[in-house]
Amino acid sequence: MGDRAYEGGGAGGTGGGGAPGGGVYDWYRRGVRLLEEKHPAAAVQLLARAAEAEPGSGSIREALARAQFDAGQYGQALESFRAVAEADPSDDYAQFGWGVSAARLGDFETSAEHLALAVAMQPGNRHYQAALRQTRATLAARAGAYGPLLPGAPGYLAPPEDPAP
């Protein structure tokens, strides 16, 4: 998921007591670097501390959400993306993140709602469009829009046999 600039600059811990060295901005930058280097679980640790210190920072919260998503923490990612989107409903990326997190959790109705918002805000974004198409196809398949599954198809359940009298 994409990187955005940090908009705050609060003070932070300088080590000791289990706190990482440096301030909030240092934690944010190191967390983003860990995320870019494909270490999302480690990034979550730093970014969660930064988000705790600067709860109003959308950039920190978004980076945390990306790290949580990449670490497979979809429930936490959804909550973080939701916080960013509720603070700024016009944030298309937060809506997208909310939608893909919901899809990973199996909530395709919520996924479709937020992915549709992201596509409406950024109609040319192919990633948003593809995610929305996939979610809508899942919803349609679950609703039987493509007809019944044929024997042998993945997900096909054979009808129960009648018990012999």
pTM for this prediction: 0.76
pLDDT grade for 146, boundaries at 50, 70 and 90? low
Kind and range of the H or E run holding 135? helix 126-142
**Statement: residue 37 has pLDDT above 70:** yes
How large is the angle between the packed helices 40-53 and 24-36, nearest 10 degrees?
Answer: 160
DSSP 8-state symbol, 73: -
* Separation of first and last alpha carbons in the chain: 60
Q: What is the pLDDT of residue 67?
A: 98
**Statement: residue 153 has pLDDT above 70:** no
Question: For the segment 91-136, what is each residue's pLDDT rounded down to a tens digit?
Answer: 999 999 999 999 999 999 999 999 999 999 999 999 999 999 999 9
Dihedral through CA 45, CA 49, CA 50, CA 53, nearest 10? 170
**Statement: residue 19 has pLDDT above 80:** no
The larger pLDDT score, comparing residue 130 to residue 140, is at 130
Task: State how far the alpha carbon of 129 is from the alpha carbons of 112, 126, 143, 152, in Å.
Answer: 11, 5, 21, 31
Task: State how far the alpha carbon of 6 is from the alpha carbons of 22, 43, 66, 165, in Å.
Answer: 16, 15, 14, 72
Q: What is the pLDDT of residue 5?
A: 39
